[in-house]
Structure 1
Amino acid sequence: MTDFTPRIFSGIKPSGGLQLGNYLGAIKRFVQMQDTDFETIYCVVDLHAITVWQDPAELPGMTREVAAGYLAAGIDPERSILFNQAAVHEHAELAWLFNCVARVGWMNRMTQFKEKAGKNAEKQSLGLYAYPALMAADILLYHATHVPVGEDQKQHVELTRDIAAKFNHDYKVDFFPETQPVIEGPAMRVMNLRDGTKKMSKSGESDMERINMLDDADTIAKKFRKARTDAEPLPETAEGLEGRPEARNLVDIYAALSDMTPEAVIAEHAGAGWGAFKPALADLAVEKLAPISGEMRRLLDDPAEIDRTLARGAERARAIAAPILKRTTEIMGLIGR
């Protein structure tokens, strides 16, 4: 078996602004992974964004906002590779090659397409249907061995493993790794502050449903103080959160922001009423998030510097990607590269 370099790849789509779910479910862990033995590669996946219509006047700003979020949260562009996907054309090229490896039946099993397309599947772009092959290309273009994902993305990593295995089998090589998903953390799914049964989303009806990563300290505090709860105080044990989605969500957010387990949060605040817990959560959130939002605003005031940072990252990314793509084409019998 090939001895692959321990390497992490992950990306965030620029489609409407970063919110707390992006930070707790992804970026916070990305920052921590810089201190591990993995080489870390992080991307703004703008090619994924255009699988649905994006205003070309707004997309550059959304791309820079995600980059600013990475940087403000602590991604070091010297220790990690940070770039936007469209700047490395090898992503699109490998995606086409994988379109010829992946099977239609595999794509038909992808639940996210069914959820996003709904009853109008026939009217959706081919890109939306086939984008799991691009996601596989994103990962395997760097021979990434691990991908930090939420539960809702685990299926795509499994597809990536299927594509790698079929490629290796069909061409009788041991070229692509069997990438492993990394799923961990107390707040992998940050839920809506108004409805704890729904995931926090950038496209929710009310801005009070979510914490935007560009919210200032006063707005962050206000949203947590007004977050929906139930009438009961915090339970004595974590099991007491069963059937209480809003309560569980706020406890999970507190746990993730404080690097505690939900059980430890409950032990510390057992029996507390929401009149005490929500202000404590608001204060913690302001302490942790307001410096990030302030730094994001500072970075966004100088978009040219963000662009330079992404361009430097793209050069480093291509140094890894180009030889892997070239070898892929050679294995497949394509000439002229």
Structure 2
Amino acid sequence: MFTTATVTETKKFPSGSTVFSLIQPTGKIHLGNYLGAVSNWKDISQADEDPSTRYIFGTADLHALTSVKDQQVLKNARHEAIASLLATGISPERCIIYHQSSVPEHAQLSWVLTCLTSMGALNRMTQWKSKSKVDEMSSISDLETMGKTKAGVFTYPILQSADVLIYKSTHVPVGEDQAQHLELTRTIAQAFNSTYKTDFFPIPKSVLTPTKKILSLKNPSKKMSKSDADQNSCIYITETPDSIAKKIRKAATDSIQGKVYFDPENRPGVSNLINIVSGLSRKSIDETVKDLDWVKDHKQLKDHVTEMIVEEFKPKRHIFDDLMSDVAYLEQVTNKGREKAKAIAGPNMKEIERLIGLD
């Protein structure tokens, strides 16, 4: 099993820890990204004053090549992703903030790890099936499935493992949907250490995000996504109060009247709204339900959710807009981050080359 820890357990990481995570540069972040990843990054980096603990965050822009094909779209999305990280309060002084593609050691290590990873291990992953739009019971050995699946989508988890391991990361903040890939990262790290008779790679722990997965506002059977055809299902940090209120008013609930309670199976829409409140208030689901004891109907719940989101995102929206008008500053941040990242990844890759005989 993949070793995990809760955020409350890791407000202070062991001295010398390296905390690492990336976000897909698909543009400005939405509520699901914010509560599922970025706000957690901010919280844990701000809570830890130990200078020996490194925080490395950025954009997984090499991973974006599996879906984004337009050059200008990707360039702008990279800027928006960095602006979103900064707007949410992640400090470029405390954290290394950079673009994955600017550090070539990611791709270099990925090939080394590819040579240690079995097709069977990759076949057991689930995300490549959803990305390729094939049945979850499909196998890469099926000719039809093979024809629909790009090699980059299939081997994506190996590059993800290289992202983590090139910095000898000890802790990786993740949501539930990435737990499987991190289990593979552990397996790959152990395979490398065993093959080359070393303990070079630490076995990273996952730091699970306290907030459960944020679901689509319109269809709570699936997660909130920027690619959803119905954009009323998704709220971005850049949205105006009126736009947020409109989307929450249209959010799916149910026909059950009276007090609200958390029941994802029978009340998915209401439970999703409770989960949003839980994430924004940084309280457990049980605490949140108690706090919502005053709510008597869906309208009161939606009004409360709207107020909380508007309050949370209002300053961030203005900061984001200011940052996007100063691309030179965004590039200054990522250039500085790149140099810091390379100062770690470069020597690590040199040692890896020595271990495998490529020095």
Match of 1:173 among 194, 198, 201: 198
Counterpart mapping for 1:154-233 below 5 A: 154-185=179-210, 187-233=211-257
Partner of 1:146: 171
Match of 1:78 among 53, 73, 93: 93
Contact 1:9/1:40 (<8 A) preserved: yes
> What does the per-residue CA deviation read over 1:67-123, in whole Å, with 9 as the maximum and x for residues that have no partner?
011000011001000000111111111111111121221111111111211345424
SS in structure 2 at match of 1:42: strand
> What does the per-residue CA deviation read over 1:114-138, in whole Å, with 9 as the maximum and x for residues that have no partner?
1211345424322111111110110
Contact 1:10/1:148 (<8 A) preserved: yes
Distance 2:346 2:220 in 1: 44
Match of 1:59 among 41, 52, 74: 74
Distance 1:22 1:184 in 2: 11
Match of 1:273 among 297, 304, 309: 297
Deviation for aligned residue 1:320: 0.7
User: AA paired with 1:268?
Assistant: D
Instruction: Please report the RMSD computed on the Cα atoms of aligned residues, expressed in angstroms.
Output: 1.7
Match of 2:119 among 84, 104, 113: 104
User: AA paired with 2:127?
Assistant: Q
Distance 2:15 2:153 in 1: 31
Contact 2:40/2:209 (<8 A) preserved: no
Match of 1:91 among 74, 97, 106: 106
Deviation for aligned residue 1:261: 2.0
Distance 2:171 2:270 in 1: 32
Partner of 1:23: 34
SS in structure 1 at match of 2:62: helix
Segments of 4+ moved more than 4 angstroms: none
> What does the per-residue CA deviation read over 1:6-64, in whole Å, with 9 as the maximum and x for residues that have no partner?
11110001125421110000000000111225421101010000023421111010011
- Give the unaligned 5+ runs of structure 1: none
Partner of 1:287: 311
**How many positions carry a matched residue from both structures?**
331
Distance 2:288 2:151 in 1: 46
SS in structure 2 at match of 1:57: helix
Match of 2:161 among 119, 122, 136: 136
Aligned sequence identity (%): 38
Match of 2:44 among 10, 29, 33: 33
Partner of 1:329: 353
Distance 2:276 2:146 in 1: 35
Contact 1:146/1:181 (<8 A) preserved: yes
Distance 2:118 2:191 in 1: 10
